[in-house]
Structure 1
């Protein structure tokens, strides 16, 4: 097996960075991020769709680690509070850990070891796939990364004894980035450094991807930590892994940063378009609702589907405080008018808002 990698503190990376090699990508991604942020800030999707977006990010991030759940099945089982499926539990935990990180930064204002360890504990809690009992703590043994198919070892992270000092250095940098680079460059370096340290026995990829929007949120580059990159990264998964490895073997920081900025640009374009389409869908549906009924209860029940597009009546009752009778009467109206669709069960129907699912 290879020797464990001898990682340097994060500041050493900036000695090798030449921004002229990725200047165009940096300009494009910075401007695209600002446009996406502005569109999101004034949109109905700013709050209403974020539960679903957290689930979607969890699906794509967990899929990179080998889980096979789809967005629709994950949304369905989250709605039904079904905890029997390990893949879906991983998705649910991913969303919960990301929300915890956001709430921690709002409350405390900076990253800490406590925050990262708790995010890890949440991610691997309960009935999920995991390869270790070391949950909510840094690893104490050597780990390694191997090719999924050939099982060839492709990277051996630093020895366990170096994990805490390297993570202390990384956390200090995340709290006070001592570099002259833009924060999109800083976060590209932060992500690579975290994945190189590989501080946990399991779950490193997912925690590392959570830290991207959380860092940009802390630095006020985005109003909320809703820059979800796992979908775009997953489409170029093997390129992503090779770019990370090339930094370790060839000091290829500029190539990695250029790739990372391209991912940010692509995903901002996609989400900007999605937000605008979701806004338009909301307006069309409100017009349809007003033609059906003037009841505020109908709008109240319908808006629950903009938070989670797959629901049952019990969850809507809890969300709205309405009676079972009122909720079911409004659901019947939504079904009759082909806005949401019910499954074929006689009792305990699950309702699907397919128009929104298609846009997520």
Structure 2
């Protein structure tokens, strides 16, 4: 097993340099995120994007554009898995504030994902892949894992997040969805250590750009016990994800305000148009039936407002049809899914 409890990991100069850079980017990002509460569209979109990217790593996959299209079409069955992951991540975010035992938090996240409170939690089957621990070993390993998380370890929080994530991935305690939970734990550990304020860090997007390297690094760690190599890789992921998240925030914030300015300068700032414009930032793909239901509009009003937003180049109609039209906040989607 990989527990780095008995032997101190020596952090070399390259790790310290990467750590300083990671701390700087995370601090800047965390400051930005304090501007937005949980209900702000930027917070929700970042959480949605992180969930979809995490699912894609484990090949559940569809794009964020497909997700918002399915929400618009009320295809609730198709979007249930990402919505469960978002819900589970938010549950973990709430629990770390008032629940002391990490195992309870981890198991609660898993139960939220599988929607089954009565099922046996820990894995009972042997999985040959990656030489995983036997089912009979998992209980003791999770006990040690919990003690490690809750101990007053001397490593900096970002490095400890690397160690915690790797340990969980190697234990693989559940029958399924271990990868999803392992990536949620990165977010929660950084919040617990006051490095992040919520679960908006786009860590899965950074991993997903070369997910084969991610899996290879975990396998190499188990085989070689090269903790320094794993930590360097993990810190690079943190730097990339923090920079990407900051860039998305800046772009979305600027995009929203540019749109408000355009509406005001065009003398189109009716309450209904502003309400419609606000909505296409939280749900960037809409249809007329969807928006009439969501905002309680008449079909005529919805069509008039949608046409005005198209004229102002704030949304784009993408079907070219007279019926069953779809409107997209394309500039927003381009920032999320380039």
Residue of structure 2 equivalent to 1:352? 328
Q: Distance in 2 between matches of 1:48 and 1:101?
A: 20
2:52 maps to 59
User: Mapping of 1:302-313 within 5 angstroms?
Assistant: 302-313=277-288
Residues 315 and 19 of structure 1: is their aligned pair in 2 closer, same or farther, counting only changes over 3 Å? Answer: farther
1:30 and 2:23 equivalent?
Answer: yes
The offset of 1:209, in angstroms, is 0.8
The answer to whether the 8 A contact 2:2-2:167 is kept is: no
SS of equivalent to 2:185 = helix
| Residue 163 to residue 10, structure 1, CA distance change in 2 (3 Å) | farther
Q: Deviations over 1:251-272 (max 9, x none)?
A: 1001100110011111111221
Instruction: Show the 5 A alignment for 1:42-191.
Output: 42=35, 47-85=40-78, 88-106=79-97, 108-110=98-100, 112-124=102-114, 137-145=121-129, 155-174=130-149, 176-191=150-165
Whole-Å Cα distance in 2 between the matches of residues 50 and 301 of structure 1?
A: 19
TM-score normalised to structure 1 length: 0.82
Most deviating of 201-210 and 44-53:
44-53
Question: Structure 1: where are the runs of 5+ without partners?
Answer: 1-6, 127-133, 146-154
Cα distance, 1:241 vs. partner?
A: 1.7
Separation in structure 2 between the aligned mates of residue 168 and residue 200 of structure 1, nearest angstrom? 14
Q: How does 1:213-232 map to 2 (within 5 A)?
A: 213-232=187-206
Task: Measure, in 2, the Cα distance between the counterparts of 1:47 and 1:302.
Answer: 14
Deviation sequence 1:49-70 (CA, Å, 0-9, x none): 2332223222222222223412
Shift of 1:226: 1.4
> CA offsets per residue over residues 108-146 of structure 1, 9 Å max, x none?
2445434322322333459xxxxxxx967110122232x
RMSD: 2.8
| Cα pair 1:143 1:157 within 8 Å, conserved | yes
Task: Give structure 2 stretches of 5+ with no counterpart.
Answer: none
Contact 1:195 1:205 (C-alpha < 8 Å) held by counterparts:
yes
**TM-score in terms of structure 2 length:** 0.87
- Pick closer, same or farther for the CA change 1:335–1:125 going to 2, 3 Å: farther
* CA separation of 1:285 and 1:160: change in aligned 2, threshold 3 A: same
Paired positions, count: 333
